[in-house]
Amino acid sequence: MTCVRRRARAGRTGPETACARFGALASCVIAMAAVGGAQDLGRSTAAGWLDYVAAAEARIARERGQAIPHRPGVDRGGIHIEQVGMPGPRGEMEVPDAGVHHWRGTVLVPGARLDEMVSRLEREPPDTRQEDVVSSAILQHRPGWLKVAIRVRRSLIMSAVFDTEHEVTFERYGGARSASWSTATKIVEIADAGTPKERPKPQDEDRDLLWRWNAYWRYEQVDQGVLVECESITLSRTVPLLLRPVAGPIVKHVARESMERTLAVFRERFRRTQESVVSSQ
């Protein structure tokens, strides 16, 4: 990756740079595919995940009902994305033999109304305009709670399609703030998705690209619209040590782009233009 950047700065861009990046990515894919098959979460990995989520949720629970912090550029139409970590007694927390992908994004939805937004979220399936989301449906519904099915396409070094189910809880804090949080209760990788040969992969064929998936949202009514914050925590197989110098930046780039797409689609879904505000009056 260093060589690619130096060539780009020296003016050697275009096909040569693209080929260098493709070569690095192809090497990662081949090596990752050769590292083991699917396996159950080991005891230390499962315990590490529970500890990590417990620490994150303790902090997130304290923040619910509070004002969303100001993030640079959000009030000017930008989407602020940041990688998040959880401090532990001996530095940043990690999950043994696994990779934690913990990201947070903030966006302003201009002209939106909090009550209308949350009411729609409580009765509508997730938006499929985002390219990561192939399809979605509501499986069960009751006040303040949903169970949804989402088929997602993920690309972390290797591309994969998963059928997932999530339990989503909503909570309101007065008239100006609200929150929701979800936990994936089912994650199954799909082979030959979208073809007549489509089938769920058995455990020994699963590539361990998505083991766990939690998401936490906050919504706040402000003068310009609704401020929205999303925090996503997923767990997958770890990138082998020798591949991290090349694969690590690619994984981070893809995760950042996925969060940005999620919030951009969310903003367009609930944005209220001046014309729509006038027509609704």
State the average pLDDT over residues 163-173.
97
Are 50 and 29 within one domain? no
Compute the mean pLDDT over every residue in the chain, rounded to the nearest whole number.
84
Q: Which pLDDT belongs to residue 273?
A: 57
Question: Beta partners for 215?
Answer: 182, 232
- Quote the DSSP letter at residue 75: G
2 with 138, same domain: the answer is no
The verdict on 150 and 227 lying in the same domain is yes
Domain count across the chain: 2
| CATH number of the domain enclosing 248 | 3.30.530.20
User: Do residue 241 and residue 122 come from a single domain?
Assistant: yes
Q: Pairing state of beta strands 91-92 and 87-88?
A: antiparallel
Closest to 159 in 3D by CA, of 128, 189, 184, 127: 189
- 121 is written with which tokens? 């979220």
- What pTM does this model have? 0.82
Which residue do the tokens 């804090």 mark?
Answer: 173
- How does residue 3 score in pLDDT terms, banded at 50, 70 and 90? very low
Q: What is the DSSP letter of 176?
A: T
Verify that 17 and 50 share a domain, yes or no.
Answer: no
**pLDDT score for 253:** 84
| Co-location of 49 and 119 in the same domain | yes
What is the dihedral sign for C-alpha 32, 34, 39, 45?
A: negative
Q: Residue 10 is part of which domain span?
A: 1-34
Percent of the residues in the chain that have a pLDDT greater than 90, as a whole number? 65
Per-residue pLDDT tens over the stretch 103-141: 999 999 999 999 999 999 999 999 888 878 999 999 999
Indicate if the alpha-carbon torsion angle 109, 144, 135, 164 is positive or negative: positive
Pairing of strands 225-236, 133-142: unpaired
Domain identity same for 157 and 29: no
Q: Do 1 and 123 belong to one domain?
A: no
Same domain? 208 vs 126: yes
Is 262 found in the same domain as 150?
A: yes
Distance set, CA 190 to CA 148, 152, 163, 203, 206 (Å): 18, 10, 7, 11, 9
- The predicted-structure confidence for 9-19, as pLDDT tens digits, reads as follows 444 444 444 44
pLDDT digits 0-9 by tens, 40-80 = 689 999 999 999 999 999 999 999 999 999 999 999 999 99
Do 49 and 86 fall into the same domain? yes
The reply to whether 28 and 147 lie within a common domain is no
> Is residue 97 over pLDDT 60?
yes
